[in-house]
Amino acid sequence: METGKLAEVFLDSAYESVGQARRETREALGPDHVLLTDVVQVVSELLANAVEHADRGLVDDLIGLTLTATPDSVHVEVSDPGSASRVPHIPRDQPPGGGRGRGLLIVDRLSGGRWGTREHGQGLGRTVWCAIPYVRPGLSAEEEDEAGRLPSRALSGACRN
């Protein structure tokens, strides 16, 4: 895999942009990329969160999506206008089978905990980032192949945005 920026796009802060972000991701990675399913899922979750939770109201609000390849992972960054009242976090109390509030839990699982946020200053927005590894932490390459990526597939069907 070549190292470098795969895509950088700016999308309207609207729910319709989630589908566009998935299409852009599929195009940037290509149909045979080993992490395609996981990266598309993470992009969906982070874009939906940005649209839902960022302070909005301006017609010009945009959400930035950047995909970058490294030798060991694909980095996803989603930048939005930010929120004065909310900080991205994984909710502690998740009702069984609850369909909402699980986006960052999915991101956490698919990234092996390699995610975080960067605040850009008062009124300048924030970036939520994650790194999807080619091999999940704690699994050897052989174990990863044997697992058949079942855990991520099971998660990807759990929450559709």
Q: What is the pLDDT of residues 24-41, one digit of tens each?
A: 999 999 999 999 999 999
**pLDDT over 50 (residue 161):** no
For 93-117, how does the pLDDT look when each residue is reduced to its tens digit (9 = 90+)?
A: 555 455 555 678 889 999 999 999 8
Q: Give the angle subtended at the CA of 20 by the CAs of 125 and 99, to the nearest 5°.
A: 75
Q: Is 95 domain-assigned?
A: no
Q: Provide φ and ψ at 25, rounded to 5°.
A: -65, -45
Q: Number of structural domains, the chain?
A: 1
- The bridge status of strand 126-133 relative to strand 62-69 is unpaired
Give strand pairing partners of 9. 65
CATH code of the domain containing 119: 3.30.565.10
Give domain status of residue 111, yes or no: yes
Question: Does residue 91 have a pLDDT over 70?
Answer: no
Per-residue model confidence (pLDDT) at position 138: 58
Q: Is residue 161 in a domain?
A: no
Residue 121 lies in a domain: yes
Instruction: Give me the domain span that covers residue 55.
Output: 4-88+101-156
**Is the CB of residue 72 less than 8 Å from the CB of residue 133?**
yes
Contact 56, 81 (CB under 8 A): yes
Q: Bigger pLDDT: 71 or 160? A: 71
| Average pLDDT of the chain to the nearest whole number | 77
Q: How many CB atoms lie within 10 A of CB 49?
A: 22
Answer yes or no: is 30 within a domain.
yes
Q: Can you read off the two tokens belonging to residue 128?
A: 């939520």
**Cβ atoms of residues 44 and 51 within 8 Å:** no
Q: Residue 23 above 70 pLDDT?
A: yes
Q: Is residue 94 one of the residues assigned to a domain? A: no
